[in-house]
């Protein structure tokens, strides 16, 4: 297995930055951005680590006879969320999705280790979230999709509650471990790098863009990026025709604005199996696939899995 990937801590960055500022003034500032980039991960290991809001932390949990149970507390949620753990008795690794709304600085997961009998240890594994400033994107969409009517608002709230249940899906893979988490691109086409953009619809700020947009014609088949189970199929106010896939241990993916959904809840898909088609349904400016990837109930940058 790979060596653990650790990143410079914020204090280190600040010290280095201060030193550079002393020597070279503002010209030294890009060094901060360079330091904040992920350390290279071995090419056989996915996802790439990127410890910024919307990124993924890869945390070494060391050896253990059985898979450690890891949890993370997010935002103001009262209940900790389970974290995906991959590896084997030699080396376990936690893959932690970092929310786009996460504050830069120190964070940690809690790891429960049981060794055979009753011995049960809880320890904290720290990591650091580096700052990342995402660009702003201005979009023009039909006014009724920004200023919601009372009926549309009620519909949106029902759908939001339903989606929250879908996002809480947690399943253990049948073989006890996950295959490689390297994902296939779900549809060929130009991939935007718009993940994390702070979006302004018709002049009004809304939630940041939490996925990747891939330009493709209506009707283009979309394939599963990993083996999956279909956990939701629906038509939603903002997202239009939507399918959610479960890849195990809280790794989910979502496909939005679809023109057709050729799958039912409970279907099991092989990687590469077509299950829906690109469209322009919901709040869109044209046909494309919106592709979201979720870890521990957190939308993360899909490009880290490619
Ligand atoms: Zn999108």
- Span 134-156, pLDDT tens digits: 999 898 888 888 888 999 999 99
CA of 282 to the centre of ligand 1 (A): 11
CA of 255 to the centre of ligand 1 (A): 9
Q: What is the pLDDT of residue 12?
A: 32
Q: Could you identify the residue written with the tokens 């959610």?
A: 244
**Where are any strands of DSSP class E within the chain?**
56-62, 69-72, 81-88, 91-97, 105-114, 120-129, 136-139, 198-201, 204-205, 212-215, 221-223, 228-236, 240-246, 252-258, 260-261, 268-269, 274-277, 288-295, 298-300
CA of 129 to the centre of ligand 1 (A): 24
CA of 155 to the centre of ligand 1 (A): 20
Q: Are 12 and 128 in contact (CB under 8 A)?
A: no
CA of 86 to the centre of ligand 1 (A): 29
Predicted confidence (pLDDT) at residue 24 exceeds the cutoff of 80:
no
CA of 230 to the centre of ligand 1 (A): 20
CA of 187 to the centre of ligand 1 (A): 14
Q: What is the pLDDT of residue 28?
A: 31
CA of 260 to the centre of ligand 1 (A): 17
CA of 151 to the centre of ligand 1 (A): 24
CA of 182 to the centre of ligand 1 (A): 21
CA of 153 to the centre of ligand 1 (A): 20
CA of 292 to the centre of ligand 1 (A): 8
Rounded to whole angstroms, how far apart are CA atoms 77 and 231?
Answer: 23
Predicted confidence (pLDDT) at residue 63 exceeds the cutoff of 60:
yes
pTM, entire model: 0.82
Mean pLDDT of the chain: 84
Q: How many CB atoms lie within 10 A of CB 20?
A: 17
φ, ψ for residue 146, nearest 5 deg: -115, -50
Closest CA to 264 of 244, 285, 290: 244
CA of 211 to the centre of ligand 1 (A): 6
Q: What is the pLDDT of residue 146?
A: 85
Q: What is the pLDDT of residue 137?
A: 87
CA of 3 to the centre of ligand 1 (A): 35
For the chain, the first-to-last Cα distance in angstroms comes to 20
CA of 107 to the centre of ligand 1 (A): 28
CA of 213 to the centre of ligand 1 (A): 5
| 181-211 pLDDT tens trace | 999 999 999 998 789 999 898 998 888 999 9
| 27-60 pLDDT tens trace | 333 333 344 445 444 545 689 999 999 999 999 9
CA of 246 to the centre of ligand 1 (A): 19
For residue 90, the 8-state DSSP code is T
CA of 163 to the centre of ligand 1 (A): 17
Which domains are assigned to the chain? 11-32+134-305 (2.70.70.10), 56-129 (2.60.40.1590)
Predicted confidence (pLDDT) at residue 106 exceeds the cutoff of 80:
yes
CB-based neighbours (< 5 A) of ligand 1, an ion:
213, 290
């Amino acid at each position: 297995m790979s060596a653990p990937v650790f990143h410079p801590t914020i204090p280190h960055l600040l010290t280095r930055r201060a030193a550079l500022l002393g020597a070279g003034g503002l010209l030294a500032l890009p060094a901060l951005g360079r330091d904040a980039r992920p350390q290279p991960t071995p090419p056989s290991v996915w996802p790439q680590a990127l410890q910024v809001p919307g990124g993924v932390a890869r945390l070494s949990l060391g050896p253990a006879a059985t898979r450690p149970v890891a949890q993370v507390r997010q935002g103001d949620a009262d209940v900790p969320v389970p974290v995906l753990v991959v590896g084997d008795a030699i080396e376990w690794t936690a893959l932690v999705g970092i929310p786009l709304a996460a504050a830069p600085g120190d964070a940690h997961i809690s790891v429960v280790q049981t060794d055979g009998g009753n011995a049960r240890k809880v320890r904290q594994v720290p990591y650091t979230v580096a700052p990342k400033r995402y660009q702003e994107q201005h979009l023009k969409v039909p006014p009724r999709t920004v200023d919601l009517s009372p009926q549309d608002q009620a519909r949106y709230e029902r759908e939001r509650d339903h989606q929250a249940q879908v996002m809480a899906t947690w399943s253990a893979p049948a073989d006890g471990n996950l295959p490689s988490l390297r994902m296939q691109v779900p549809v060929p086409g130009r991939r935007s790098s718009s993940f994390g953009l702070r979006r302004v619809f018709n002049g009004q700020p809304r939630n940041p863009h939490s996925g990747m947009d891939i330009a493709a014609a209506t009707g283009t088949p979309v394939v599963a990026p990993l083996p999956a189970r279909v956990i939701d199929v629906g038509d939603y106010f903002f997202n239009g025709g939507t399918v959610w896939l479960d890849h195990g241990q809280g790794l989910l993916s979502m496909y939005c604005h679809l023109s057709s959904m050729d799958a039912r809840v409970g279907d099991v898909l092989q990687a590469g199996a077509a299950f829906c088609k690109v469209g322009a349904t919901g709040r869109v400016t044209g046909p494309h696939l919106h592709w979201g990837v979720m870890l521990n109930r957190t939308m993360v940058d899909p490009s880290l899995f490619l």
